[in-house]
Every structure is written in C-alpha cells, then in structure tokens.
Amino acid sequence: MQTGIEIAHEAIIWAKNNRDGFKAVRRYLVDYSHNPIKFPDGSTLNVTRSDVYSMSRALGWHINVHGIFAAVVRVCIMQRPCIARVYECQPSKLDKVDLQAMWAEEFPHDYFPARSVQEAYQMAAQNDVAAK
C-alpha cells in the first residue's frame, strides 16, 4: 500500500514525463468549469473521474494508476480553483500531503492560487477572483 507521499512522487514523475498531457487534463477541466452542462433547475453536471480518464486516453495520455490520477486532479484544482465548482475530490491519503510544496520542487514556476484542495474549494464557494 502506497503512502500519500509516494503517490504524489509518482504523479510528479508522470507530469514531468507527460507535461502536455497534464496541461490538456487541466485545460479540459477549466473549460468545463466555465461551460458546464446545466439542468433545467439550474444545477450543473459535475465532471467525473471517468470523464477525465476517457478524455486523457482519447488524447493519448494514459493515467493508469488511481493515485496518480487523484494527485494530478488535485494539483489542477489548486492551480485553477474554478475546477472545484465541477469536480469533487474523494478523501485520499493525498489530503495529508503538502502536494503544492512537492510539486513546486519539480515545477518551481507553476502558479498555485490555492495551497490546498480545501482552500481551492473555499475560494470557489466564495467566488474569489482567483477561482475564476
């Protein structure tokens, strides 16, 4: 059984080897967060893990390990808090890891308006300008 830190390291290695894939996943999530499917009552359809997995496979970027996928999506949410409006993370060992700090060691120029997934959800709920 992997620890949260081990999962985070694997995700960072995946992102380093698949930088275009990481950016495509993030772009897909951001685009959907700005144009979600709306129901007649005004509620929106959240993106599921299966949606993102299928999109990434269609583009040729395979994220085959659930933990790596969970870490990549969490980083996307911290980098673009608007995604928190349409994607709900399930509890994970990653919630106890400083994923932003670990990510910054490999990608020091990546921008994180939220230092944690929880902060990203708060920003999105408050319509914080950084969450747009």
Q: How does pLDDT run across 115-130, given as a tens digit for each residue?
A: 999 999 999 999 876 6
Note the pLDDT tens digit of each residue in 15-61.
999 898 889 889 988 988 888 888 888 888 888 877 777 777 777 76
pTM: 0.86
The beta strands (E) that lie in 47-125 are given as none
Single out the residue of 1, 22, 19, 2 nearest to residue 10, CA to CA: 2
- Quote the number of domains for the chain: 1
For the record, the structure tokens of 67 come out as 């933990």
Q: So what's the pLDDT on residue 132?
A: 66
Average pLDDT over residues 54-80: 81
pLDDT for res 131:
64
For the cut 80, the answer to whether the pLDDT of residue 67 exceeds it is no
- Grouping H, G, I as helix, E, B as strand and the rest as coil, residue 40 is coil
Query: Hunting for tokens 């894939």 — which residue is that?
Result: 21
Query: Which residue range forms the structural domain that includes residue 25?
Result: 4-131
Cβ–Cβ under 8 Å, residues 18 and 3: no
Interatomic CA distance for residues 73 and 84, integer angstroms: 10
3-state secondary structure at position 33 = helix
CA atoms within 13 Å, Cβ hemisphere of 96: 6
Local confidence band at 107 (pLDDT 50, 70, 90 cut-offs): very high
Interatomic CA distance for residues 84 and 109, integer angstroms: 22
